[in-house]
């Protein structure tokens, strides 16, 4: 099987589940690496983490005035060095997210079964070094990844896929379709969502849609922690007014991905803000030319609630 053509598809839908309070993770460790002062970012305090064996603290002496304090210092490792975080007993077996900041943000989601979680920085070669400015380790809400309904799509067709949480997942793109850039201020899990404009193959094929209604979160469907309101109140719809396209066309997004041969998880967040009534909107979904869903009917998937 050609692994490059493996795609996992999971869909998230909305229902009446209203989470009024903001989310507080059971495990949360925030570190301001390379600094002996605590730093605040996104209303959270990152604890000073100035020294580790075989590391040097570096401070940016001429930071850009608007660069966050968190990014003004870093720990540099010239040989292997590690961080260990202990995991509360009742949270073992659940997912854990972690982000390493060093101007480029690296974000991972994995399942923790043991009592501790270790991050190892390992420089490459004799003169290599590793560095990090900040680390966040946190447990996402339960059911953040629902291991049900994912599809494995490749040249052989569609199979159902189980065990979504067993591999380590690394975020490649997190996109707010038809909307604005969302920063950690706009997201209770401190995620950043970027607009989709740059990924659209033919921008005139789609137009932006938005609503001022708060999403109708339903039990068993998506919740605010799966994606914030701001994601669900904006969308793209096919631009049927585009006469050049004769009414028959696809809206296509191209996402650059780094490693060939790796499977990718595509998570689609759908909230119907464009249908005037139920059962009027059907569409097909293709991933790399492979058919993933035909005649996808959002009314059916959202238990007939608009």
Sign of CA dihedral 204, 205, 211, 217: negative
**Shortest Cβ 179–ligand NAG spacing (Å):** 7
Q: Which of residues 258-287 bind ligand NAG (CB under 6 A)?
A: 286
CA 171 to chain CA centroid, Å, is 5
Question: CA 52, 55, 61: angle at the middle one, nearest 5?
Answer: 110
Select from 37-45, 98-106, 114-122, 195-203 the region that touches ligand NAG (CB under 6 A). Answer: 37-45
* Residue among 3 and 306 whose Cβ is closer to ligand NAG: 3
Alpha-carbon distance of 7 to 5, in angstroms, equals 6
Q: Does 249 bind ligand NAG (CB under 6 A)?
A: yes
What is the DSSP track for 210-228? E-SSPP---TTSB-TTTS-
- Smallest distance from ligand NAG to CB 229, Å: 9
Give CA–CA dist 91/73, Å, rounded.
32
d(CA 101, CA 84): 17
Distance CA 237, CA 184 (A): 26
Q: Does the protein bind ligand NAG through residue 44 (CB under 6 A)?
A: no
Under the binding rule (CB under 6 A), the answer on residue 166 touching ligand NAG is: yes
Instruction: Say how far apart CA 103 and CA 67 lie, in whole Å.
Output: 10
- Between strands 151-154 and 7-12, the pairing is antiparallel
| Binding of ligand NAG by 168 (CB under 6 A) | no
What's the min distance (Å) between Cβ of 41 and ligand NAG? 13
Judged by CB under 6 A, which stretch of 5-13, 22-30, 41-49, 126-134 contacts ligand NAG?
Answer: 41-49
32, exposed or middle or buried, with CB in 10 Å at 0-12, 13-18, 19+? buried
Report 181-220 residues binding ligand NAG (CB under 6 A).
Answer: 182-183, 185-186
Q: Is 15 helix (H, G, I), strand (E, B) or coil?
A: coil
Least distance to ligand NAG from the beta carbon of 63, Å? 20
Which of 43, 241, 289, 295 touches ligand NAG (CB under 6 A)?
Answer: 289
Select from 175-183, 196-204, 235-243, 254-262 the region that touches ligand NAG (CB under 6 A).
Answer: 175-183
Alpha-carbon span 44 to 134, nearest angstrom: 12
In whole angstroms, what is the distance from residue 287 CA to residue 266 CA? 9
Least distance between ligand NAG and beta carbon 144 (Å)? 17
**Residue 246: CB minimum distance to ligand NAG, A:** 9
22 near ligand NAG (CB under 6 A): no
How many chain residues interact with ligand NAG (CB under 6 A)? 19
Nearest distance, CB of residue 219 and ligand NAG, angstroms: 26
Using CB under 6 A, list all residues that contact ligand NAG. Answer: 37-38, 45, 47-48, 162-163, 166, 180, 182-183, 185-186, 230, 248-250, 286, 289
């Amino acid at each position: 099987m050609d692994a490059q053509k493996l795609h996992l598809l999971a869909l998230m839908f909305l229902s009446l589940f209203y989470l009024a309070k903001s989310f507080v993770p059971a495990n949360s460790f925030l570190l301001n690496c390379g600094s002996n002062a605590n730093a605040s970012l996104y209303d959270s305090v990152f604890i000073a983490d100035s020294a580790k064996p075989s590391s040097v603290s570096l401070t940016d002496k001429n930071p850009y005035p608007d660069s966050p304090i968190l990014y003004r210092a870093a720990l540099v490792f010239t040989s292997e060095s590690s961080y260990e975080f202990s995991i509360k007993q009742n949270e073992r077996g659940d997912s854990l997210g972690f982000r390493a900041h060093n101007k480029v943000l690296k974000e991972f989601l994995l399942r923790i079964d043991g009592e501790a979680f270790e991050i190892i920085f390992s420089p490459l070669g004799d003169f290599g070094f590793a560095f990090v400015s900040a680390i966040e380790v946190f447990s996402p809400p339960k059911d953040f990844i629902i291991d049900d309904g994912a599809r494995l799509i490749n040249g052989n067709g569609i199979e159902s896929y189980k065990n979504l949480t067993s591999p380590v997942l690394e975020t490649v793109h997190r996109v707010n379709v038809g909307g604005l850039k969302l920063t950690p201020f706009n997201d209770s899990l401190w995620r950043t969502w970027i607009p989709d404009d740059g990924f659209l193959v033919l921008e005139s094929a789609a137009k932006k849609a938005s609503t001022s209604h708060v999403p109708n979160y339903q039990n068993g469907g998506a919740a605010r922690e799966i994606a914030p309101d701001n994601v669900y109140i904006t969308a793209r719809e096919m631009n049927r007014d585009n006469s050049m396209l004769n009414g028959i066309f696809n809206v296509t997004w191209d996402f650059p991905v780094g490693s060939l041969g790796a499977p990718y998880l595509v998570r689609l967040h759908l909230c119907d803000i464009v249908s005037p009534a139920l059962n009027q909107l059907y569409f097909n979904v293709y991933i790399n030319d492979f058919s993933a869903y035909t005649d996808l009917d959002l009314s059916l998937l959202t238990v007939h609630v608009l």
